[in-house]
Amino acid sequence: MNKPISEACLRNQAPIAKALKERLTSPARLLEIGSGTGQHAVFCAKELPHISWQPSDLPQHHDGMKLWINEAGLNNVLAPILLDVDQAWPCSAVDMKVDHVFSANTVHYIAQTSVDNMFAGISRLLPVDGLFMMYGPVNVNGAFTSGGNARLDEWLKTCVNPLAGIKDLAALEQLANDHDLQLRENLAMPANNRLLVFVKVAEIESSEQCFVLARNKPGVP
């Protein structure tokens, strides 16, 4: 099996890492949701050696991800874990031992109900003042910000999932507020993308189903 390669990752990994480095200045553990090929994990972890990077995704992505992680040989990249936003999540930051969450190019690939579940899960995980950093395209006032984004939205609905598509900034901000997350920064990124930085502003209690992660060690067995 050859390493999977995402051309989008190759284009955006440097500006993403730069933005994360400017905001994550203290040692911390970060959960990446939807790690895909694993390229962001290894590139960003190399640029941020003080961050313990926890990749996650559906099982079908793990083998390819492990190829990138094993080749990189970084001590601060953990073995990938299974995380389906529509299934059980860790109960809290104590179980997960996570300080921040990052996700790139995921929200527009999934249905709105899955986005709702994603924000709810992230809010349960994050401690107060923890950051959720979301990279990808968003609409503004219900409109696409570029022709390329409009074409991407059409392709997603036609070829990926009719319920997928680029989400509106105001709707994302309202969803975040509903889950005790507040939009702190809205950063312009290359190719008509944004980096939305949300901060957890309050503790919440939840009785929803949880799972407790194994104590992963750096590297992949």
Spans of all domains in the chain: 7-203
Give the Cα separation of 14 and 121 in Å (integer): 28
Prediction pTM value:
0.90
Contact (Cβ atoms closer than 8 angstroms) between residue 139 and residue 168: yes
Under CATH, which architecture does the 7-203 domain have?
3-Layer(aba) Sandwich (3.40)
Residue 35 near residue 41 (C-beta atoms within 8 A): yes
Closest residue by Cα to residue 58 from 41, 37, 74, 39: 37
CA nearest 30: which of 82, 93, 90, 86?
A: 93
pLDDT averaged over 10-residue windows placed end to end, the chain, 221 residues: 90 96 97 96 98 95 96 95 87 69 97 96 94 98 96 97 97 97 97 97 63 41 42
